Structure 1
Amino acid sequence: MDKKKRLHPEVQGLLVLVGSFLLFLCILSFTHTSPQKNWFGVIGYGIGYGMLWTFGLSAYLIATYIGWIGWKKLMGSPIGGLKMKTLYLGIGIVSLSALLNLLTEVGGFSNGLIESRVISEIYEVYYPYHQKLARFNLGGVPLYYLYRDLPIFNLQHLLSNVGVMITFSLTGIMALILFTNTRVIPLAKKCWEFVKETGKFLKKVAKDFKPRKVKKKVVPIVPVFSPRPPVQEREVMEEEEEEELSDLKISTHLEKRPAPGRKVKTMDNKKYVGAYRRYRLPPLNLLTNAKKVDQPTLKKDLERQAKILEETLLSFGVEGRVGEINCGPTITSFEVHPPTGVKVQKIKVLENDIALNLQAKSIRIIAPIPGKAAVGVEVPSLYPQEVGFKEMLSEYQKGSKKLHIPIMLGQTVTGDNVLCDLTKMPHCIIAGATGSGKSVCINSIVMSILMTARPDEVKILLVDPKKVELSSYTNLPHMIAPVITEAHGAYAALNWLVKEMEERYEILKRLKLRNIHAFNNRKYNPEKEEELAGGMEIPRKMPYIVGIIDEFADLMMASSSDLETPIARIAQMARAVGIHLILATQRPSREVITGLIKANFPSRIAFKVASRVNSQIILDENGAENLLGNGDLLFLPPGSHNLTRAQGVFVRDEDINQVIEHIERQLGPQYLIKSFDQMASADLGGVGAGEGKDDLYSQAYQIITETGTASTTFLQRKLKIGYARAASLMDELESNGIIGSPDGSRRRVLLKKD
């Protein structure tokens, strides 16, 4: 008692005030990853760590409360009911900490400066897939454990997030009222009077304010795409300037004048000029969210499968240890670490035995995983999830990296998005049996273009022999022509692409540019370009062109023309001028995907195929025959020999229809070609006696008319070409009336020489 009397009250207050100030500085200068940055060294870091670990950001409130007590003692003011105030403060701190942790959990808070000054930790989650996340304990670790991590009886499970928010908001408000000893009814009356006075003031200000009148003018705007456009009057602001329509011309060989002395056959000389500045990309709300499947016992099931896998390997004499487990949308990957001395092939041959013990429909063994000292065992997931197109597109739009033609393909086993740029691929072959997800993949590619590119940036050419799969895209402004459904129309379209490619290369040659990217980003100088053009019209920009051919095998069987030659020419040369091809087929045989086509299509997408032979043709290795179907795919990126397994993104038909309707409401079809299917034989390149579609036609004609011998094998020997090309030349000579039709074993008759 004597010691307490000797200590002066002001000294007590000063010590408490200084202590609270030092505590506040320890917390303020705390950085989780850098103890040396704390203003009070390791001791200050330890004090700040303890306070923030226990209370989170509420520790600042505790330091402020201690400082308030010290100030009261220093000033000699009595503090009534200190114990009750401390109790009310404790209730308020618990409520505030719970609300801060709730804010962190729902993702409503993100600030790098504050997150670096609270306790953070890394933890693993298995729903909807296995991933590692960073947790920032804004409300302290104990309250976070009570809120979320406590088994079964955690607050999130018992009350849900909404219940936690309502409960602790009410307790926090009650603690604040009791701590400050505030009367609720008088306070509410004062607030209501303040609101009324503020409303009267705003009304007075609005009455006195007179808005400035903006002078308007009426500008007639004529839609340039209609045959006989009606004149519409539209009010525009005086400050708005009309953009030059010449800057938005569409590049096509139909709208250019040929160089002097060069004869170019064109089907139509109409120039298509369009103003796309009012065009808006379709919004994300047109798409639906992916359906999520609840996974209540996923962790236990994965542990059970890992144990079965280890026991199966041990029964065959392989002591393998299961390491990391990656749970993807439809595939779960187990990383097996075999001991030193075990051959990888010994695990590879146990594929069927492992599938039997795991009761799996099919498994795939990667021996070894590229870049890791482990063998991968891929098993179908117990709870397959859908990969949503909306989620992938949203992540791409939020990201900083932008691609020229982004293509959303799917999601890997580790949960990473498979997103590629078509300009880097630059051509692709898609193969898969019926029902494997090939058509959905084509729709996702088209939707990726529609959701990210304007009609003046990317043009699309679609070939659909089935006539129902891609017909809904016919009236889009991105389309070069209506969807092609006939074999001769596909042949005409490919020849059109070859001519367009040649014209674009001629433009790049005259301007001394290397590719389409350099052309579109050049410094536009009309006088200089007109001088270099030499009579050829040079557009302001070139759009990319994407040609998609569905059911390519059926097209090759139905068409008597040689489709291989124009496809090979486009695949070899068209990358630099922005023309890209995508071929899809159900039957990846050697007659369909020939060596010439395969060599020029570096990117491959394989869905489930019928046999190992088909997998070897499309991917040059086995694996596609063991896929699950329904979007399960293997992707071979360009410049890589490592296959990527992914679950293809799913696009619903109703989403496609909504996006198409949204685009058609803004712009109608802007065809460069009226229709490839309805072209006459002359439009397809009608030929005379000495000219044909094939480059070797004139030589073949000269050889046959001079020697009088007309046979396929004779042309093979003379021209040193393959049988398919020689037979195509013979068919062309026959269709032009140069030689007669075959008559059994007799030689063909030479009908005319001129």
Structure 2
Amino acid sequence: MPKISFKSKEPEESTDKSHSEIFGFVLCALAILLILALVSFHQQQPEKNLLGLVGYFTSFILNYLIGIQSFMLAFFLIFWGTRHLLKDPFEDPLMKVIFFALFLLSSCILLSLMSTSSWFYNLKKFVLFDTAITDGPYPTRISKVFLGGVIADYLYQGLPYFNLKILLTPTGTFCTFLLILLISLMSLFEISPLALVDHIKDRFQKLKKEAPIDETASFSVSNVESIRRVWPRKLKAPEEEEAIVELDLIEPVEPIKKRLLPKIKASELAPAIKLESKKKITTNGYDLPPITLLTDAKKVDQPLLKKDLERQARILEDTLLSFGIEGKVGEINCGPTITSFEVHPAIGVKVQKIKALENDIALNLQAKSIRIIAPIPGKAAVGVEIPSPTAQEVGFKQMLISYRNNPKKFHIPVLLGKTVSGEEVICDLSKMPHCLIAGATGSGKSVCINTIIMSILMNASPDEIKLILVDPKKVELTPFSHLPHLIAPVITEPNGAYSALKWIVQEMQLRYEILKQLGVRNIHAFNTRKQDLQLEQSLSIPVPEKMFHIVAIIDEFADLMMSTNADLETPIARIAQMARAVGIHLVLATQRPSREVITGLIKANFPTRIAFKVASRINSQIILDENGAEALLGNGDMLFLPPGTSQILRAQGVYIRDEDINRVVSFIQDQRPANYLIQSFDALSEDPLFAEDGEENEGSDSLYSRALETVVQHNNASTTFLQRKLKIGYARAASLIDELESKGIISPPDGAKARKVLIRPDII
């Protein structure tokens, strides 16, 4: 049996990098020595040359051959060596040398053409203008000034009958070699003339008029401080401007205009952030936590980003071509952790053919996973998303500064993260109005929940928003236990979660009754109403001055449903259907998005969904109704389905540290102690008013009798059958099936076979 060994490529790569750096250092050293030799050159005094006879003869030959352009040779060596030292060497050194030779030839001929001008004669002190070689091509022109060297002068006017001066005339020679000079320069520095023209054209258009931007009060994807980097195939520099791109999902409000910002240096940006963070924000006598409590995101230096992305773009094109698919990479959107390549296929290429090559493309790009969007909505291109060469942290502090500096405010702001193109994703939970979150362990789901809570704490007072937190793990949400924003302590028991949901239903009904008697439609109209004290005091129920929003966040929702006999689905569905108008919102999170947990009734009332990395395609289809979440990278990489649209955004979630959470919580607790409206929902579950419907009480006996009658009459003993007939949730139906089995009404489960009903209908 042959022996198979696996060798790491890291030593070979590090050796290549060290060789490249050594080569770059040698080139720079040679260039510096050449400059010293040229600067200290004296034709009649060789001993004065700083490099001795070697430097003298080197300078003599170069000045004789190419004249003043000898210095350009030294500068080219410095340019070449610097690229190696910066770990960005030429991809094709031979072509660079050829283009530099064309540049030297054209510039030398142009200098020879203009050397007869009197003002050029003043440059003679920098070059060898008298040749001492008697057998050279110019023995009779001792006083001639050769600015471009003898080779160029010989081609221009030294050749008999066939020189450039005769063939093209001075004007034609000037135009021809000026064009060659420009082409060689653009090739040397990789400048695209079309991209340059487009860039200049765009700049003039932006200076002429400023484009207005529509706002929305629901969902925004904004770009501040030149965060978005959209590069064409040659990856031109990002534009230094501020832009806001928003989806018009709700009623539009008065538009604001785009502001063009000057280029901001890092040293100038830091004081601006510091000034803003010191500003105290007060609402109703309550000071919002300052931004100084938060930590700056770690900055990642990406010197090789451009080179790596160009290399990946070429590999992508070559991979498609190897499978008979012709296509060109257009724009490259570089985000925090994901880079999106826009591939423009040739006419006649089927999009599904590219989609089928997902694994082959991932193999050639050496990527852990890729995602293909075929096609990109609104574009004639296919999107290929791969992990960025260097991941960049999305800081909560920077996003919060961006939101606070934005004149548009949300009722319940949620700072989610940044898209693959670097645009900020900020949502209004009051317009969502409920959210489903799914993600496996380590995918970033818990960090997302912490981000939602911190977004509320940093922007709202306890009088504006109240929280109900359910944490079956008992460790994820404990830092928030003593906040004044909480209606009750963090709930850790399944029975307490059911009691909290029933309390929310009762609160919802009470609020609707208040709105009905006052004749207002929603919580916003109620809080902005003109108070009529006489009318409000005459009502049968007490009317508060203002209603606060209630946000209930339930973590590990699937485990809750499996660990309790209570019917959690019914109150959740009722709240999701009706609670938006009275300012009550639900956020459900689960590790296992199964169909028994996220039923069709729940999905229909949770239009906003966030999917982190899940275990399988089935889980992705359950949470998003399509594949993709199983191929995410984890650590905050997510797919976001905004409300009111079917277009899914890929984004990198905000990362917030535990130290930041502890500092913010301590700041809030120092201002106000916890003032719970309910002392404990876990204890409240013992109250008969909030008892579980699945317990042995009067309601349980009645439901058991109905279940027994239904199963025996239809001779069908399945959980889904009871769910459909009795209109109850999965957990309660499963509990009834277990009870029927324990009393001998139905048989135990027998693999995939259906349970048998063991009694006859006439017995009951």
Name 1:592's counterpart in structure 2: 597
Counterpart Cα distance in 2 of 1:650 and 1:307: 33
Counterpart Cα distance in 1 of 2:241 and 2:734: 73
Deviation at 1:504, TM superposition (A): 0.6
Q: 1:370 aligns with which of 361, 377, 383?
A: 377
Conserved in 2, the CA contact under 8 Å of 1:460 and 1:478?
Answer: yes
Letter in 2 for 1:288: T
Counterpart Cα distance in 2 of 1:687 and 1:553: 18
Deviation at 1:339, TM superposition (A): 1.5
1:539-570, Cα deviation, whole Å (9 max, x unpaired)? 01110000001011111111111111111111
Name 1:479's counterpart in structure 2: 486
Conserved in 2, the CA contact under 8 Å of 1:362 and 1:626?
Answer: yes
Deviation at 1:319, TM superposition (A): 1.2
1:631 partnered with 2:636: yes
Deviation at 1:305, TM superposition (A): 1.1
Counterpart Cα distance in 2 of 1:609 and 1:515: 37
Conserved in 2, the CA contact under 8 Å of 1:129 and 1:415?
Answer: no
Counterpart Cα distance in 2 of 1:682 and 1:709: 35
Deviation at 1:359, TM superposition (A): 1.0
1:575-602, Cα deviation, whole Å (9 max, x unpaired)? 1111110111111111111111111111
1:649 partnered with 2:755: no
Structure 1 counterpart SS, 2:526: helix
Counterpart Cα distance in 1 of 2:553 and 2:565: 20
Q: 1:276 to 1:320 in 2, by over 3 A?
A: closer
Taking the TM superposition and a 5 Å limit, the aligned residue runs for 1:178-193 are: none
1:133 partnered with 2:239: yes
Letter in 2 for 1:359: Q
Name 1:246's counterpart in structure 2: none
1:564 partnered with 2:569: yes
Runs of 4 or more off by more than 4 Å in structure 1?
124-131, 686-694, 696-720, 722-727, 729-735, 744-749
Taking the TM superposition and a 5 Å limit, the aligned residue runs for 1:84-233 are: 132-134=238-240
Q: 1:393 aligns with which of 384, 400, 404?
A: 400
Letter in 2 for 1:312: T
Q: 1:697 to 1:320 in 2, by over 3 A?
A: farther
Name 1:536's counterpart in structure 2: 541
Conserved in 2, the CA contact under 8 Å of 1:716 and 1:723?
Answer: no
Deviation at 1:133, TM superposition (A): 2.4
Structure 2 counterpart SS, 1:646: strand
| Aligned-residue CA RMSD (Å) | 3.9
Deviation at 1:135, TM superposition (A): 8.0
1:525 partnered with 2:540: no
Counterpart Cα distance in 1 of 2:668 and 2:689: 32
1:427 partnered with 2:427: no
1:498-549, Cα deviation, whole Å (9 max, x unpaired)? 1111111111111111111111111111112223x2x200101110000001
Counterpart Cα distance in 1 of 2:693 and 2:591: 37
Letter in 1 for 2:732: S
Name 1:358's counterpart in structure 2: 365
Name 2:743's counterpart in structure 1: 742
Q: 1:721 aligns with which of 715, 725, 736?
A: 725
Letter in 1 for 2:351: V
Deviation at 1:708, TM superposition (A): 12
1:381 partnered with 2:377: no
Structure 2 counterpart SS, 1:459: strand
Deviation at 1:128, TM superposition (A): 8.0
Name 2:296's counterpart in structure 1: 289
Conserved in 2, the CA contact under 8 Å of 1:741 and 1:748?
Answer: no
Q: 1:648 to 1:126 in 2, by over 3 A?
A: closer
Q: TM-score, normalising length from structure 1?
A: 0.60
Conserved in 2, the CA contact under 8 Å of 1:710 and 1:748?
Answer: no
Taking the TM superposition and a 5 Å limit, the aligned residue runs for 1:674-693 are: 674-679=679-684, 681-686=686-691
Letter in 2 for 1:639: G
Conserved in 2, the CA contact under 8 Å of 1:459 and 1:480?
Answer: yes
- Using the aligned pairs only, state the percent identity: 62
> Any unmatched runs of 5+ in structure 2?
1-205, 209-224, 232-236, 243-262, 269-281, 747-756
Deviation at 1:357, TM superposition (A): 1.0
Deviation at 1:132, TM superposition (A): 3.6
1:43-88, Cα deviation, whole Å (9 max, x unpaired)? xxxxxxxxxxxxxxxxxxxxxxxxxxxxxxxxxxxxxxxxxxxxxx
1:603 partnered with 2:602: no
Q: 1:734 to 1:672 in 2, by over 3 A?
A: farther
Name 1:673's counterpart in structure 2: 678
Letter in 2 for 1:377: V
Name 2:664's counterpart in structure 1: 659
1:667-693, Cα deviation, whole Å (9 max, x unpaired)? 011101000112353345359999979
Counterpart Cα distance in 2 of 1:707 and 1:296: 69
1:426-458, Cα deviation, whole Å (9 max, x unpaired)? 111100110000000000000000000110100
Counterpart Cα distance in 2 of 1:312 and 1:689: 59
> Any unmatched runs of 5+ in structure 1?
1-114, 118-123, 137-147, 149-155, 163-274, 750-754
1:266-286, Cα deviation, whole Å (9 max, x unpaired)? xxxxxxxxx983211000000
Conserved in 1, the CA contact under 8 Å of 2:593 and 2:619?
Answer: yes
Counterpart Cα distance in 2 of 1:557 and 1:417: 37
Structure 2 counterpart SS, 1:677: helix
Q: 1:659 to 1:730 in 2, by over 3 A?
A: closer
Name 2:519's counterpart in structure 1: 512
1:325-377, Cα deviation, whole Å (9 max, x unpaired)? 11000001111111221111111111111111111111111111111111111
Counterpart Cα distance in 2 of 1:724 and 1:637: 29
Q: 1:321 to 1:541 in 2, by over 3 A?
A: same
Q: 1:398 to 1:707 in 2, by over 3 A?
A: closer
Name 2:449's counterpart in structure 1: 442
Name 1:454's counterpart in structure 2: 461
Conserved in 2, the CA contact under 8 Å of 1:690 and 1:697?
Answer: no
Q: TM-score, normalising length from structure 2?
A: 0.59
Letter in 2 for 1:616: Q
Name 2:9's counterpart in structure 1: none
Q: 2:509 aligns with which of 495, 502, 505?
A: 502
Name 1:615's counterpart in structure 2: 620
Counterpart Cα distance in 2 of 1:306 and 1:135: 26
Deviation at 1:388, TM superposition (A): 0.3
Taking the TM superposition and a 5 Å limit, the aligned residue runs for 1:300-315 are: 300-315=307-322
1:698-725, Cα deviation, whole Å (9 max, x unpaired)? 6876998999999996999999725865
1:336 partnered with 2:340: no
Name 1:142's counterpart in structure 2: none
Letter in 2 for 1:471: T
Conserved in 2, the CA contact under 8 Å of 1:712 and 1:727?
Answer: no
Conserved in 2, the CA contact under 8 Å of 1:712 and 1:723?
Answer: no
Conserved in 2, the CA contact under 8 Å of 1:548 and 1:581?
Answer: yes
Structure 2 counterpart SS, 1:443: helix
Name 1:226's counterpart in structure 2: none
Q: 1:620 to 1:733 in 2, by over 3 A?
A: closer
Conserved in 1, the CA contact under 8 Å of 2:436 and 2:589?
Answer: yes
Counterpart Cα distance in 1 of 2:662 and 2:361: 44
Q: 1:474 to 1:320 in 2, by over 3 A?
A: same
Conserved in 2, the CA contact under 8 Å of 1:407 and 1:421?
Answer: yes
Counterpart Cα distance in 1 of 2:454 and 2:570: 29
Counterpart Cα distance in 2 of 1:703 and 1:593: 23
Conserved in 2, the CA contact under 8 Å of 1:290 and 1:387?
Answer: yes
Q: How many pairs are equivalent?
A: 491
Q: 1:417 to 1:430 in 2, by over 3 A?
A: same
Letter in 2 for 1:133: E
